[in-house]
Each structure stands twice: as structure tokens, then as C-alpha cells.
Amino acid sequence: MSKDLKQQKLEDLYYKYLYERQRSPEELTQEEFVQLLIVFPALLVLKADGHVDTTELLYLNKLVRHLVTSQGIENKEDLFREELRHLLWNSTYWRMPFLRILRFFVSEKKVLEALMDWMISAASASSGDIVQNILYKAAQSQGVTTEAPKFISEVEIQEIKNILDYLGVLDTPEVRLLLNQLEE
């Protein structure tokens, strides 16, 4: 796809997002919107198990702080927190438009690495499979030895795979290597 067409599709989604959120380009620049776009798959991983727990909300706050600090826009921390929460709670609505655009940009190694880092970080922030964690703690309290639960749940791993498959990068060697490490 030509660079001009990619840029046009990105701008179309950007202006749709601004319209939906009743924001001006001065409030949220296109470059800042791209940061939201790249982080969005991590939000999908946070919601993969059907709920967002306290640990995951704390992770979201750390993610916001990291984003604004790394971009030198600390004055926009509240805006980014508000936008990421909006995207988290409305992820079903934004899922396909955001992932469609990401398909055009994921061929850039830097974008793919950032996506993978954010998704794995989000999965690690959760408490894994909550039911398995409860059963494990109950078994431990009764002196029964069982295998410790994974801190990245199967549901989260599957969501990461689904996202990467949709983006067309699931079967690339570097992605396969990383996923194999997660599944061990």
C-alpha cells in the first residue's frame, strides 16, 4: 500500500476519533493519537478475560505515565488517562477500526516491537487466571501441592495470538519465538 494511502487512512480514523470524542487537533495531535493506536492492543489483552481488575487498572495508570513521560508531554497525563480508559471500556467499538489501521503499520519493525512489548507487559500485569490462582491458594492452605498457575493466562495468550494473526504477523519467526517463550 502506498504511503499516501496509509497516511490518508490514518488521518480518516484520527478525525473520526476526534469527532467521536469531541476533541480538537490541538488537544490530541495526530502523533499522540498514533501512540494510543500502538498501545490499543495492550488494552484488548487487559480485557481478554472479560474483566479489568485493580492490578490492571494500576498498570493502565503506569502505562499513561510512561507514555507521557517518554513523549515529553507530561501536561497531557490526564488527557491520556481519560482516552485510554475510554478505549478500554469501548474496546469493542474501536477494535476493528484500530486493528485495520495497525495492519498497515505493523510491517515497520519498530511498531511491531512496541506492540509486542505493550501486549506482553499488559498480560504480565494481570493476575493471570483468577480461578486458577484461587484454587492454587486454597490447595496450598490445605497442604496440597499443585502446579503454580501461570501469570499470563491462556485467555490472554490467545488474545495476543488473535491480534497478531489479524495483523498478519503471527507466523513471523520473531513473533513465534516470543510466543513460544510465553507458552513455556
Can you give the pLDDT at residue 167? 96
Can you give the pLDDT at residue 75? 93
Q: Where are the alpha helices (DSSP H) in the chain?
A: 3-21, 30-46, 54-71, 77-89, 91-105, 109-125, 130-141, 154-166, 173-183
Is residue 66 within 8 A of residue 140, CB to CB? The reply is: no
Spans of the chain, pLDDT less than 70: 1, 126-151, 184
Domain with 52, as residue range(s), is 3-183
- List pLDDT tens digits, range 83-127: 999 999 999 999 999 999 999 999 888 999 999 989 988 888 865
> From CA 31, how far away is CA 14, in angstroms rounded?
10
| Residue count (the chain) | 184
Can you give the pLDDT at residue 136? 47
pTM of this prediction? 0.84
Can you give the pLDDT at residue 182? 75
Q: Give the total number of structural domains in the chain.
A: 1
> From CA 2, how far away is CA 138, in angstroms rounded?
57
Percentage of the chain lying above the pLDDT 90 cut: 52
